[in-house]
Amino acid sequence: MKKWGNTGANLPPLVFLVLLIAIWEVTGRAFNIPDHILPAPSSIGKALLNNMPLLWLHTKMTITAASVGLVLAVFVALVLSVLMNRVKMIKRVFYPLLVISQTVPIIALIPIMIIWFGFGLLPKILVVTLVCFFPLSVNLTEGLENVDNELIDLLKVMKAGPWRIFKSVQMPSVLPYFFSGLKISATYSVMGAVIAEWLGARAGLGIYMTRAMHSYSYSSFFAAIFIVVLLSMSLFKFTELLAWLSMPWNRIKEE
Amino acid sequence: MCDAKLSLREVSSAYIHNGRILPVLDTISMQVKEGEFVSLLGPSGSGKSTLLKIIAGLIKPDAGSVFLNGKELKGTIVKMGYMPQKDLLLPWKPLLYNAALPLLAQGTGKKEAYNKVRELLPVFGLEGFENSYPSQLSGGMRQRAALLRTVLIDSEVMLLDEPFGALDALTRERLQEWMLKIWDHFKRSVIFVTHSIDEAIYLSDRIYMISELPGKIVLEQAINLPRPRARDIVLSPLFTEYKQNLMTALANETTWGNS
């Protein structure tokens, strides 16, 4: 990660992607593949343009659920991992629960959430939080465990207070762990929101997709998928940008 | 013991390793006078680092006590110019912050702390590197930066744990000469841990030789070489005599296979 947004390095994957889409388009036309089997990129594009206002309405809901859920997950993960790091008993009690929370099939949990909290935004946010806090907590816990104790000892001999020790030793050494967790969670967040909406919502890309499917409008369905991919990728890239901005010392190493 | 800056009385320490008690230090008694350069010389794994940690208050001794200025330190962490074996510079901070850390930790303002560091940079041969990250500095520079940071810990005693252990021979010799200048400049009492006989003689006023585990003091040797010491002092007959003495003591103490 030498420079942010290095165009030279981004070019080959971009060219490859364009090539794939071109092959898709050409084979679609050559073999006359009907829309309900696999719509061609051009008809997906048309659907995207024609349904823009409606799609944007649903996209806004998904963005809200995904981002609020993700921010909430960051808070939950931070509090949990700091507590688990400070008090070993809490770790012993909570860590197995964390793992169990991830073994419950999320798809089975969503109807229960809908019964409890209705068709609004809240159950979606909770599902996103539930999906996203786990990779963050696991990474943060590991990061806090790997902080160099000798560095902490050194600051203690300088008579540094706990805040100084946290700010100049613990926080920076945990940052890389935090961001690798956040990258996973960021990609999960949009997917979590879409799955939650799929099973019942007033608005959102998930419910839009089920409706498109039921009305045999496959190009609209694919248009929604395209937006989901775009959202996830933007969030991922945004996380990378944050990491790049907050760890300037990592940029220097590779120069 | 009245004029001792720092003194240890019968300090013992042990680890518990795989359910067995492993004695590390055995009734260590020693003193450092005001402004004196004292080396702890001994083979690797003789508990020298543990001893420094006990003095700094990071580890509690199982028996014995440590006195600073005649007052007993009851196992609390005391502000000491402690420099551990690794340079332990913060990889995420530029040199300026790393060196200023002891001042910042004491609540000194950033500007004042940085100015103080900038004043000292030429003494440590680090001018022009204040904005470099540790990963951009050479091994020798990192050690000098760590030493600058140690000097800025406002304490009368410096505890240096093999500061030059990881450096190549040439860099090491240069830093030894420079170490003497720094010591002369700041006039602090120093406890210097090393496993190099030459390094210990060249730098010290006095040497305590420690045996293998459990670490015991087997020899106390005053070094009466004149100061300031030039590099060629290592060729003098007196230097050779000291070296001979210490080597014999070390050989007698190295009892592989006997225990």
Confidence at residue B210, expressed as pLDDT on a 0 to 100 scale: 87
Partners of residue A157 in chain B, C-beta under 8 Å: 56-58, 77-80, 82, 153
Would you say the C-alpha torsion A116, A118, A123, A125 has a positive or negative sign? negative
Q: pLDDT-based confidence at B257, cuts 50/70/90?
A: very low
The residues with which B32 forms a beta bridge, in sequence order, are B6
Residue A7 lies in a domain: no
| DSSP codes of every residue in chain A | --STT-HHHHHHHHHHHHHHHHHHHHHHHHTT--TTT---HHHHHHHHHHTHHHHHHHHHHHHHHHHHHHHHHHHHHHHHHHHHHH-HHHHHHHHHHHHHHHHS-HHHHHHHHHHHH-SSHHHHHHHHHHHHHHHHHHHHHHHHHTS-HHHHHHHHHTT--HHHHIIIIIHHHHHHHHHHHHHHHHHHHHHHHHHHHHTS-SSSHHHHHHHHHHTT-HHHHHHHHHHHHHHHHHHHHHHHHHHHHH-HHHHHHT-
Confidence at residue A56, expressed as pLDDT on a 0 to 100 scale: 94
Burial grade of A251 (CB within 10 A; 0-12, 13-18, 19 or more): middle
Is residue B216 within a helix (H) or strand (E), and if so which, with residue range? none
Comparing alpha-carbon positions, the chain A residue that sits nearest to B58 is A153
| Segments making up each domain of chain B, as ranges | 4-80+155-253
Q: How many CB atoms lie within 10 A of CB A34?
A: 10
Interface test with B, best of A159, A246, A251 (most B CBs within 10 A): A159
Residue A236 lies in a domain: yes
Interface test with A, best of B87, B90, B148, B160 (most A CBs within 10 A): B90
Q: Say whether residue B238 is in contact with chain A using an 8 A CB cutoff.
A: no
As for how many domains chain A has, the answer is: 1
Whether residue B205 contacts residue B222, with contact meaning beta carbons closer than 8 Å, is answered with yes
Averaged over B186-190, what is the pLDDT?
A: 85
Confidence at residue B1, expressed as pLDDT on a 0 to 100 scale: 45
CATH code assigned at A117: 1.10.3720.10
Confidence at residue A34, expressed as pLDDT on a 0 to 100 scale: 86
A40: which residues sit within 8 A by CB, 6+ positions away? A24, A25, A28, A29, A33
Confidence at residue A4, expressed as pLDDT on a 0 to 100 scale: 61
- What does the DSSP 8-state code read for residue B127? T
Looking at the complex, report in whole angstroms how far the Cα of residue A157 sits from the nearest Cα belonging to chain B: 5
Indicate yes or no: CB of B58 within 8 angstroms of CB of A153. yes
Size of the A and B interface in Cβ pairs below 8 Å: 61
Q: Say whether residue B139 is in contact with chain A using an 8 A CB cutoff.
A: no
| Mean pLDDT score across all residues of chain B | 83
Q: Say whether residue B79 is in contact with chain A using an 8 A CB cutoff.
A: yes
Would you say the C-alpha torsion B190, B35, A160, B178 has a positive or negative sign? negative
Residue numbers of the domain that contains A83: 40-249
- CATH fold of B4-80+155-253 reads Rossmann fold (3.40.50)
Residue A21 lies in a domain: no
Q: Which of B77, B91, B102 sits opposite A249 (nearest CB)?
A: B91
Whether residue B11 contacts residue B61, with contact meaning beta carbons closer than 8 Å, is answered with yes
d(CA B128, CA B48): 35
Partners of residue A169 in chain B, C-beta under 8 Å: 90
pLDDT at B259 over 50: no
Residue A176 lies in a domain: yes
Partners of residue A154 in chain B, C-beta under 8 Å: 82, 84, 88
pLDDT at B154 over 60: yes
Mean pLDDT by 10 residues, chain A (255 residues): 62 91 92 86 92 93 95 95 88 88 88 90 93 92 90 87 88 93 94 92 91 90 94 93 89 62
- What does the DSSP 8-state code read for residue B104? H
Partners of residue B150 in chain A, C-beta under 8 Å: none
Partners of residue A173 in chain B, C-beta under 8 Å: 92
A77: which residues sit within 8 A by CB, 6+ positions away? A133, A136, A137, A140, A181
Confidence at residue A153, expressed as pLDDT on a 0 to 100 scale: 87
Indicate yes or no: CB of A150 within 8 angstroms of CB of B88. yes
Q: Which of A155, A172, A175 sits opposite B105 (nearest CB)?
A: A155
d(CA B57, CA B51): 10
B206: which residues sit within 8 A by CB, 6+ positions away? B36, B37, B38, B39, B220, B221, B222, B223
Confidence at residue A253, expressed as pLDDT on a 0 to 100 scale: 57
Confidence at residue B106, expressed as pLDDT on a 0 to 100 scale: 83
Q: Say whether residue B215 is in contact with chain A using an 8 A CB cutoff.
A: no
Confidence at residue A5, expressed as pLDDT on a 0 to 100 scale: 58
Comparing alpha-carbon positions, the chain B residue that sits nearest to A255 is B136
* Residue keyed to tokens 């959430």: A113
Averaged over B193-207, what is the pLDDT?
A: 89
Partners of residue A168 in chain B, C-beta under 8 Å: 90, 93, 97, 101
Looking at the complex, report in whole angstroms how far the Cα of residue A172 sits from the nearest Cα belonging to chain B: 7
Averaged over B243-256, what is the pLDDT?
A: 77
Confidence at residue B254, expressed as pLDDT on a 0 to 100 scale: 63
Rg (CA), chain A: 22
* Residue keyed to tokens 């508990």: B47
pLDDT at B64 over 50: yes
